[in-house]
Amino acid sequence: MIYLDNAATTKTIDSAAQKMLYYACQDYYNPSAGYAPALEVKKAIDSAKKYVASALNADESEIIFTSCATESNNTAFECGIKNKKGNVVISAMEHASVYESAMRLKSKGTDVRIAPLTKSGTVDIEKFRSLVDNNTAFVSVIHASNETGAINDIKTLRNIVKQISPNAVFHSDGVQAFCKTSTDLHNLDVDLYSISAHKIGGFKGVGILYVKKGLNIPAFIVGGGQQDSRRSGTENVGGIVSLAEAIKEYKLAATETKVSELRDYAINQFRTLDWAKINGLESANTGYVLSVSFQGLRGEVIAHMVEEKGIIIGLGSACSTHVKTNRVLAAMGLNKSFIDGSIRISFSPYNTLAEVEFATKEIIEAAKRLREVMNG
């Protein structure tokens, strides 16, 4: 099987899985307990936290482990807004976990403003600026798109917000950016940042919320007071330790396999079809996601056709396949005949060029066959 849906999730890296097994079956003690073996478990969490913090150029005190990036994003919205009367700005390219959090605030009366995108799939900076005012309380802009891989200029957007509304809190969803582009958080200078382990070879059910030093946000999940009462619940020890291991291994693999070269190969193949459009390429891009639209075709039919050949690709965000249209591609100005014909190919450093060669050949053949059928 050739797996090219890595933006949805990744295969857990073997050595990370071994760490999980170890903390499940050997050192399984509750890290909050007082006996010596439990203290060793607590130390393992602390050292994982140290590693994760250094990978983000952050301080250990700025890292909170969560159960997933969806929780991190929900926490940011539920607890990160200090001035509850102010307005909220998000972008039109947010993941459902940010978008729905914003919609929940809107349903309770908050003025939620949505910044439009350029055709290249990043936030339109001038239009974004016009939405921010001195009553803006909270802003959330995704760092890299899960639909196209397009990278937003987070530092510029953050500076615009702080100039106009110095007390506003700036959050960014970094799930598709971490380990794929620079996520030096002290340089980006954001207040809150979300990460998910399972997009980079870690386990599902493990996330991070970075909270900048000095920003004291109330806990979203209260209870036993774990993690200095900032996020209660017994820590997912294996998940946390294996995340640190996954980061190390994934980054190493990324130095050996240049993922953007895999993507560029695929792009050159798709460019031979004048009825195929590649989305989000004109902007900076992680190189890990490739969105292609075959005009007049149906993406899900192509995906089913290639699945029969053992190739797994995506259609858009896997978290929202129940949603009828692709909100992000629509915001980029694509019309329905392109949106319906969209597929998402997403890579990992564990993919090979041979896999991508075979997959692109099969995808193109499937699209050509479907086009013939549709054109009678």
CB contact at 8 A, 259 and 348: yes
CB contact at 8 A, 162 and 125: no
Residue 112 structure tokens: 């939620």
Does 117 interact with ligand PLP (rule: CB under 6 A)?
Answer: no
Does 101 interact with ligand PLP (rule: CB under 6 A)?
Answer: no
The correct pick among 10, 70, 87, 283 for binding ligand PLP (CB under 6 A) is: 70
The correct pick among 97, 165, 348, 360 for binding ligand PLP (CB under 6 A) is: 97
319 is a catalytic site residue: yes
Single-letter code of the amino acid located at 262: L
**How many CB atoms neighbour CB 246 within 10 A?**
27
For 42-72, b/e burial (b = at least 16 CB within 10 A) is bebbeebbebbbebbebbeebbbbbbbbbbb
Q: Between 86 and 121, whose beta carbon lies closer to ligand PLP?
A: 121
Does 68 interact with ligand PLP (rule: CB under 6 A)?
Answer: yes
CB contact at 8 A, 172 and 157: no
Q: How far apart are CA 273 and CA 341, in angstroms?
A: 14
**Per CB under 6 A, which of residues 20..59 are in contact with ligand PLP?**
none
The correct pick among 176, 183, 342, 360 for binding ligand PLP (CB under 6 A) is: 176
Stretch near ligand PLP under the rule CB under 6 A, chosen from 53-61, 65-73, 213-221, 356-364: 65-73
Given 25, 68, 179, 319, the catalytic residue:
319
Single-letter code of the amino acid located at 160: I
- x/- letters, 195..234, toward ligand PLP (CB under 6 A): -x----------x---------------------------
What lies within 8 Å, CB to CB, of 217 at 6+ separation is 75, 79, 80, 192, 211
Residue 238: phi and psi, rounded to 5, are -60, -40
Shortest spacing between CB 38 and ligand PLP, in angstroms: 27
Annotated catalytic residues are: 319
User: Applying CB under 6 A, which residues contact ligand PLP?
Assistant: 68-70, 95, 97, 142, 146, 173, 175-176, 196, 207, 319
